[in-house]
Amino acid sequence: MSLRPSPLAKGTSVMADPSLSLNTTLLRGFRYACWPECGLCCFAEPRVDATERAVLLQIAPETEFVDTSQGSFLRAGSNGGACQFLRNLRCSAHTARPHPCQEFPVHVHLGDRLQASLVLSCPGVALDVLSETTPFSARAAPEGFGDELAAVNRRLVPGVDRRLREAGRRKGRIVRQLDREGRWEEEEEVRDALRREVPLPLPEDFPVEAPPSAEDGLEFLPIFYDGRPGPVGLAEGLGGWEAVELRPSGGVERLLAAIPPPETPPELTPTAERLLVGYLRYYLERDALLASVLPQMLQSSEGTVTAWVAKELRTIGATVVSRALVRAKLSGAPSGPLRVGEIAEGIRATDQDRLDVPTWGDRL
């Protein structure tokens, strides 16, 4: 998992324009408490702004950064390792940690609006709410996100409106082309159609696309936390998918398992299927889903928005159950239908990667 770049406009005043306020509907009903012994979100190169960089250099003059055209990032340990400030899975620069670390697991997509959702790879976020059928807007207020939301709100300063306008122009170009081809549909209509019957993975969605090769760099691997000293990464291997335990200092500790990719959808218990449906419903409500599908549609001249979004949801579902299967095998679970806890782990092993897919929008 990586904390991908979140362009920064740091400031102290909250936006006065109500249209630029943060939509937190998708946080409703969730509870969160960080697991300090986890450290998963610290296998990352978080973005730093100029002020944060200066503070970090003051407390640790040897701090190393990666400077790119996208901004400045804290350098991680070599070979896909952890952030240089991670010590025994705790942050040694906690009071000076950069903004992505302060905001995680809140993720803000900047598109038609500022929509907050949660990175469900974080094991500190309880997933049971996904199985509820209550609409998100009717759920209880979220619990435990006070500091993270305060950190997000500190960045809602002038400059966000300009970025929204730029994103809107990018979207406009795509929509006009799809409209000319007779393929455009309004997003709420797409959501309405798919909310009624959430598309679950079909046999043709298996096996899902292969995971990245470890040779591409460990930082590209989907990773998850399962209580080992380092996180587990999934890589393409001779046996299909390989699960490798990573060292907190970087590199591979050992190969845990090589698992052939499922060729057909594994069976799920009824409660496991309810959780999967709830997750796909959650994903459907994310603006980032539609914003990632529209650019993909330009690669083809066929298919409506509804058809493309349905296919994307099925692929996400197939990825979740495939990774759930890997985790079930790793934990030595008996064969049989995947259970709710295993689907939860499949969601955790998948969500960050899906959120990292490029969109016509931006990330706060």
Phi-psi region of 90 (alpha: psi -120 to 50; beta: other; left: phi over 0): beta
CB of 222 to ligand SF4, least distance (A): 14
Of 91-99, 234-242, 283-291, 349-357, the window that binds ligand SF4 (rule: CB under 6 A) is 91-99
Q: Which residues contact 182 (CB under 8 A, 6 or more apart)?
A: none
Per rule CB under 6 A, is residue 83 in the interface with ligand SF4?
Answer: yes
Residue labelled with tokens 């991680």: 76
Size of the site for ligand SF4 (CB under 6 A): 21
Per rule CB under 6 A, is residue 262 in the interface with ligand SF4?
Answer: no
Among 122, 190, 328, 340, binds ligand SF4 (CB under 6 A): 122
Per rule CB under 6 A, is residue 15 in the interface with ligand SF4?
Answer: no
CB 106 within 8 A of CB 125: no
What is the C-alpha separation between 119 and 128, in angstroms, rounded?
15
Of 97-105, 322-330, 332-340, 343-351, the window that binds ligand SF4 (rule: CB under 6 A) is 97-105
Q: Which residues of 40-58 are buried (b: 16+ CB within 10 A; e: fewer)?
A: bbbbbbbbbbeebbebbee
Q: Which has the closest alpha carbon to 67: 48, 80, 43?
A: 48
CB of 223 to ligand SF4, least distance (A): 10
Per rule CB under 6 A, is residue 101 in the interface with ligand SF4?
Answer: yes
Nearer to ligand SF4, 41 or 349 (CB): 41
Among 29, 80, 111, 124, binds ligand SF4 (CB under 6 A): 124
Among 44, 167, 214, 277, binds ligand SF4 (CB under 6 A): 44
CB of 49 to ligand SF4, least distance (A): 13
Of 23-31, 89-97, 198-206, 249-257, the window that binds ligand SF4 (rule: CB under 6 A) is 89-97
CB of 160 to ligand SF4, least distance (A): 23
Q: Which residues of 143-167 are buried (b: 16+ CB within 10 A; e: fewer)?
A: eebeebbebbebbbbeebeebbeeb
Per rule CB under 6 A, is residue 66 in the interface with ligand SF4?
Answer: no
CB 205 within 8 A of CB 315: yes
Assess whether the previous peptide bond of 36 is cis (omega < 30° from 0).
no
**Interior angle at CA 332, CA 329 and CA 335, nearest 5:** 65
Task: Indicate the Cα dihedral angle 337, 317, 332, 231, nearest 10°.
Answer: -160
CB of 298 to ligand SF4, least distance (A): 34
What is the C-alpha separation between 282 and 87, in angstroms, rounded?
34
Per rule CB under 6 A, is residue 85 in the interface with ligand SF4?
Answer: yes
DSSP string of 147-204, one letter each residue = HHHHHHHTT--TTHHHHHHHHHHHHHHHHHHHHHTT----HHHHHHHHHHSPPPP-GG
Per rule CB under 6 A, is residue 232 in the interface with ligand SF4?
Answer: no
CB of 214 to ligand SF4, least distance (A): 22
Per rule CB under 6 A, is residue 91 in the interface with ligand SF4?
Answer: yes
Per rule CB under 6 A, is residue 347 in the interface with ligand SF4?
Answer: no
Per rule CB under 6 A, is residue 46 in the interface with ligand SF4?
Answer: yes
Per rule CB under 6 A, is residue 123 in the interface with ligand SF4?
Answer: yes
Nearer to ligand SF4, 40 or 290 (CB): 40
Burial class (CB in 10 A: 0-12, 13-18, 19+), 67: exposed
Of 98-106, 164-172, 201-209, 329-337, the window that binds ligand SF4 (rule: CB under 6 A) is 98-106
CB 349 within 8 A of CB 323: yes
Per rule CB under 6 A, is residue 105 in the interface with ligand SF4?
Answer: yes
Q: Which has the closest alpha carbon to 84: 242, 250, 244, 220?
A: 250
Where do contacts with ligand SF4 occur on this chain (CB under 6 A)? 34-35, 38-42, 44, 46, 83, 85-86, 91, 93, 97, 101, 104-105, 122-124
